[in-house]
Amino acid sequence: NSGSTLLRDYANGFRIGAATNTMHYNNQNYVNAMKSFNYMVAENACKLSGIQQQKGVYNFNDCDNHYKKAKELGMDFRGHCLIWHAYQPSWFQNADANTLKNAIVDHITKVLQHYDGKIDAWDVVNEAIDDSSNGNGWKMRNSFLYQKVPNFIDLAFQTARKVAPNVKLFYNDYNTEGVYAKTESVYQFIQDMIKRNIPIDGVGIQYHVAVNQQPSYQKINDLIGRYCKLGLEVHITELDVKCDNVCNSGNVEQQQATVFTNALKACLNNSCCTGYLVWGIGDNDSWLGGDKKGLLFNSQYKPKSQYTAVLNVL
């Protein structure tokens, strides 16, 4: 490996990945940067909004195209996400309770069957716990899903297990990496799922953070360790580190690098932490906007010092 600058060449089987988007695949610099990774998730294409924009009409083209690119580049592929309250087609949001319940089961069934034997880990439910949860129990997000199908989480995981018994089923959420009280609430919620025998295999910690609001190494390491003790896998699923109000400070890249490396070190320190993914390739493509400089490559797809810092930890 000596001389290689690709993260994947130092990963030793560990899954290090990025969210990608087919809309950029015609840019060779983007594709070259993708090749640094050995794991891929589609930024949007495999969501319900990407696959079932019209009720009952399943269109796998864009999700398939991401998957094919991953295979072409020798990457594993992560499934994101089956059930989510945000960015959903209106038919799904406006469905009556019974229709919605059937749609949840149908969508999970069709998607998991389509990718059977191809995708071994899926976010089954995304972002279902309310941000105001204070660490003392949890509050469900009061979304249309919860209002109409209060047991949608149990239903989603039970359906997924039945359809695809070999797929690792993840719950994925943000503000769960140790800065906010919601971290503890989600932990308790997951613990409760296990107690109630709801089939779950892993937790996705999204890890969208600001450079000056991030957990210490010790905090994230402890948290991952506690999930491991529950018998779960952990993935850091959507890491980006926005510079926010210190974007112009001289050492901001170094501070951002520390956030990326603390998360990676904590993940590597816990054997149940089996994946680490950043949410995009180049700064300009990021959902945060290019001025937040949240990713590992700059807008020209040149690796930044954060990239080198990550490489040095592997």
- Return d(Cα 83, Cα 107) in angstroms, integer: 9
How far, in Å, CA of 205 to CA of 173, rounded?
A: 6
Smallest gap from residue 302 Cβ to ligand XIL (A): 22
Interface size with ligand XIL, residues (CB under 6 A): 7
Select the residue interacting with ligand XIL from 233, 238, 283, 285 (CB under 6 A): 238
Catalytic annotation present for 238:
yes
Nearer to ligand XIL, 18 or 112 (CB): 18
Tell me, what amino acid is at 247? C
State how far the Cα of 8 lies from the Cα of 70, in Å rounded to an integer.
13
d(CA 227, CA 191): 9
Interacting residue with ligand XIL among 87, 218, 305, 308 (CB under 6 A)? 87
Task: Scan residues 33-62 and list those touching ligand XIL (CB under 6 A).
Answer: 43-44
Query: Which CB, 99 or 143, lies closer to ligand XIL?
Result: 143
Residues 189-218 contacting ligand XIL, CB under 6 A: 206
**Judged by CB, which is closer to ligand XIL: 128, or 311?**
128
* Residues between 279 and 308 that touch ligand XIL (CB under 6 A): 287
* Cβ nearer to ligand XIL, comparing 58 with 87: 87
Task: Give the Cα separation of 282 and 264 in Å (integer).
Answer: 19
Distance of closest approach, residue 307 Cβ to ligand XIL, in angstroms:
20
Output 86 or 247, the one with its CB closest to ligand XIL. 86
Between CA 77 and CA 75 the distance in angstroms is 6
> Which of 127, 184, 233, 238 does the annotation list as catalytic?
238
Say which residues have a Cβ less than 8 Å from residue 222's Cβ, sequence separation at least 6: none
| Residue 243, preceding peptide bond in cis (omega within 30° of 0) | no
The residue behind tokens 């019209």 is 54
Q: How far is the CB of 10 from ligand XIL (least distance, A)?
A: 27
Which x/- pattern, by CB under 6 A, does the window 114-143 give for ligand XIL? ------------x-----------------
Nearer to ligand XIL, 11 or 33 (CB): 33
The 3-state secondary structure of 38-49, one letter per residue: CEEEECCCCCHH
Q: Cα–Cα distance between 6 and 50 in angstroms, integer?
A: 30
Angle (CA) 35 241 189, round 5°:
100
Q: CB-based contacts of 263: which residues, under 8 Å, 6+ apart?
A: 177, 207, 220, 236, 239, 276
Of 259 and 311, nearer to ligand XIL (C-beta) is 259
What residues line the site for ligand XIL (CB under 6 A)?
43-44, 87, 126, 206, 238, 287
- Give the residue numbers annotated as catalytic, written as ranges: 238
